[in-house]
Structure 1
Amino acid sequence: MFKIFTAIISITPLFNLNAQEISYSSKNLRFKSKGITLSGTVYDVKSPKAGILLVHGSGQELRMKEFATTLAKSGYTVLTYDKRGVGESEGVYAGPEVGTNNIDSTNLDLLAEDVNAAVNVLSQKIRNKKTKIGLMGFSQAGWIIPIAANKNKKVDFMVIFSGALISTKEQLRFQFYTNGDTDFWKKHTEKDAREHIKNDTDRYEFINTDPVYTLNKLSIPGLWIFGGKDIQVPVNLSIEILEELNKKGKQFQHKLYPDLGHNTAASENQETIKEALNWINRL
């Protein structure tokens, strides 16, 4: 059985980001992707500030209804769907819970194809074709979103919460090193972590995915939101990589919340969601 650590994020922001809620409608729908049918819900507003597709992190993730509702009430048309093989969506789910590798490049590419199928559906729901469409995702979506955006010209921007800028194999080295220890950064230095990421022996062999390879091809703007106490993602190293990409002319920004961990989009972290939406509104 293939066993790896997963970072499962709970997304339940039941707060109101606007002083005045915007009315919206919701409709369940089904759409095709790579030979299977995915099931989701679109939350539609009359004149959206932007269209947002929510992209899952790792785990057996259902559509993110609460998060989508929050965004819709704040003026965005949102599409969210059950991950393939989960809930009402067809297909086969890959993940350590079922003994398979969910960060193999084949699976990441497949999930990116699902994202693009959903983008095409979302674009049809947007009445004003000048309205920007973006991808917003969490954790593992940091690898999936760039792959999808590189293949779909309808994507105008991306927002990634707690997504790594290092490769999938390097990420595993870091997660095995932190081993879920919430006090990890009290016991280890940044130098320790970087040396381990660089030199540790890989426990599993699979085709590696390096997000930098794809990000180098993108011209759309992106925002990464990080927590300084994250033990799933090496945040300082990821920020350093972003800054190097910006030296090449990329439009990538980041926001660091020093006291937060990996779950930067949790309901108690309202400021991170506000930061993301304010950034989208400035595009």
Structure 2
Amino acid sequence: MKKVIQLLIAILISSSPIFAQDIKPNRPQEPQKPYPYYSEDVRFKNKQAGIHLAGTLTLPKKEGIFPAVILITGSGPQNRNEELAGHKPFLVLSDFLTKNGIAVLRYDDRGTAMSEGNFNSATSADLASDVESAVAYLKTRKEIDSRKIGLIGHSEGGLIAPLVAIQSKDISFIVMLGGPGIPGDKILLIQQKLIAEASGVSKEEIKATERINKKIFDLVKKSSDIEVLKTDLRDHLQKFLNENPDFKKPDHMTADEFIRSQIETYATPWMQYFIKYNPVNTLKKVKIPVLALNGEKDLQITPKENLNAIKKALRKARNRNMTIMELPDLNHLFQESDTGAPQEYKKIEQTYSPTALKEILHWIKIQVK
């Protein structure tokens, strides 16, 4: 069970130790300056939160009026390039789109890099207000066609984009890249199981860990007070350790260290919100054009369960402009992958599949005609 717990302590890809880097990897898709387009570092204010966010706006040319997209990062504190596993997916995506006539705004998450605020106290709903501020900023720019502003969200960003879309009339389309369509607790259980299997963990260990985490998620779903939740989690985990004296804790942790690590993972505002949140309740209100893409080998937001749920929810919204696609051989980062396991992310030289880039651009071009 040691391997399983090591994986579960680092559920979110942005903070996982599998992304530690010893040497600078080869990333042939990363653009190099000088760029063949206009690039400007910008700051804008989230008045509701009282913080300034820092980002980069790229325009096909310095002068002109262009359709635009805002890029929304996945889970965990990420910079404007969504930098992880030695890759900069949003740098590559923004470069590709800008070269093809689309203005792009990408920004550092609150409390990350050059943006103000406290990421650790923020939920997905709070992060949605940051996106709304980005939209408001784009509307002040004379180079942006305010009738053609879209959102592209990866992973958790694909959860946030619909939240913004149902609150703002300024959004003309959304792109969900590996975005969720099922509740957070179900996502985590599937994700944990598949990643553990890909890592060679035994079926017995996986089943045991699933039982543990179902109980943890039940406690989180029932909780309304984080301090009470911490006590409940501590009691549950202490009981588990007492009943399983042979349990091998990861990295030679003491019992107290192990319990504390689990509490730090699950007793947070973000995790409470994510585990309780059901994307269907939002998606069934989304009536603007939607592109939902998933990689066939995505082990974190699995295509079958999530794309089916997204499609059903949008049908309930009577959405007449949706494109739902599963792209062969791609993982959660939209890289061409052998297994889809997170351990592969940093080993793969490719940052973004050309197939995914072309599908995104082709669909956006249709929306902004």
- In the superposition, the TM-score normalised over structure 2's length comes to 0.62
Is it true that 1:62 corresponds to 2:73 in the alignment?
no
Would the alpha carbon gap of residues 226 and 139 (structure 1) be closer, same or farther in structure 2, given more than 3 Å must change? same
AA aligned to 2:93 is F
- Say how many residue pairs are matched: 257
Is it true that 1:26 corresponds to 2:31 in the alignment?
no
Query: In structure 1, what is the equivalent of residue 11 of structure 2?
Result: 5
Is it true that 1:276 corresponds to 2:329 in the alignment?
no
What aligned pairs does 1:145-224 form with structure 2 within 5 A after superposition? 145-182=161-198, 200-203=214-217, 205=220, 206-207=272-273, 208-224=276-292
CA distance in 2, matches of 1:268, 1:79: 18
> What is the CA-CA distance between 1:252 and the residue it aligns to?
2.4
Secondary structure of 2:123's aligned partner: helix
Query: In structure 2, what is the equivalent of residue 258 of structure 1?
Result: 328
Would the alpha carbon gap of residues 79 and 60 (structure 1) be closer, same or farther in structure 2, given more than 3 Å must change? same
Would the alpha carbon gap of residues 47 and 245 (structure 1) be closer, same or farther in structure 2, given more than 3 Å must change? farther
Larger Rg: 2
Secondary structure of 2:198's aligned partner: coil
Secondary structure of 1:132's aligned partner: strand
Query: In structure 1, what is the equivalent of residue 256 of structure 2?
Result: none
Secondary structure of 1:146's aligned partner: helix
Query: In structure 1, what is the equivalent of residue 261 of structure 2?
Result: none
> What is the CA-CA distance between 1:29 and the residue it aligns to?
1.3
Would the alpha carbon gap of residues 13 and 139 (structure 1) be closer, same or farther in structure 2, given more than 3 Å must change? farther
AA aligned to 1:234 is T
> What is the CA-CA distance between 1:3 and the residue it aligns to?
4.4
> What is the CA-CA distance between 1:70 and the residue it aligns to?
2.5
User: Which sections of structure 2, spanning at least 5 residues, go unmatched?
Assistant: 1-7, 20-26, 82-90, 221-271, 336-349
Query: Structure 1, residues 81-121: CA drift from partner, whole Å, max 9, x if none?
Result: 11101100111122xxxxx7xxxxx6100000001101111
Query: In structure 2, what is the equivalent of residue 85 of structure 1?
Result: 111
Is it true that 1:125 corresponds to 2:195 in the alignment?
no
Query: In structure 2, what is the equivalent of residue 190 of structure 1?
Result: none
CA distance in 1, matches of 2:157, 2:190: 17
Query: Structure 1, residues 138-190: CA drift from partner, whole Å, max 9, x if none?
Result: 11112111111111211110111111111122212222222454378xx9xxx
> What is the CA-CA distance between 1:130 and the residue it aligns to?
5.9
> What is the CA-CA distance between 1:39 and the residue it aligns to?
0.7
Query: In structure 1, what is the equivalent of residue 59 of structure 2?
Result: 44
AA aligned to 1:228 is E
AA aligned to 1:40 is G
**Is the 1:26–1:44 contact (alpha carbons within 8 Å) kept by the matching residues of 2?**
yes
Query: In structure 2, what is the equivalent of residue 19 of structure 1?
Result: none
Q: Quick one: which of 303, 307, 311 aligns to 1:235? A: 303
Quick check: which one's helix share is greater?
Answer: 2
> What is the CA-CA distance between 1:31 and the residue it aligns to?
1.1
Query: Structure 1, residues 210-247: CA drift from partner, whole Å, max 9, x if none?
Result: 11111111211111111111111121111221332343
AA aligned to 1:55 is I
CA distance in 1, matches of 2:28, 2:303: 23
CA distance in 1, matches of 2:324, 2:66: 21
Would the alpha carbon gap of residues 4 and 256 (structure 1) be closer, same or farther in structure 2, given more than 3 Å must change? same
**Is the 1:228–1:261 contact (alpha carbons within 8 Å) kept by the matching residues of 2?**
yes
CA distance in 2, matches of 1:124, 1:147: 22
Secondary structure of 2:138's aligned partner: helix
**Is the 1:48–1:77 contact (alpha carbons within 8 Å) kept by the matching residues of 2?**
no
**Is the 1:14–1:267 contact (alpha carbons within 8 Å) kept by the matching residues of 2?**
yes
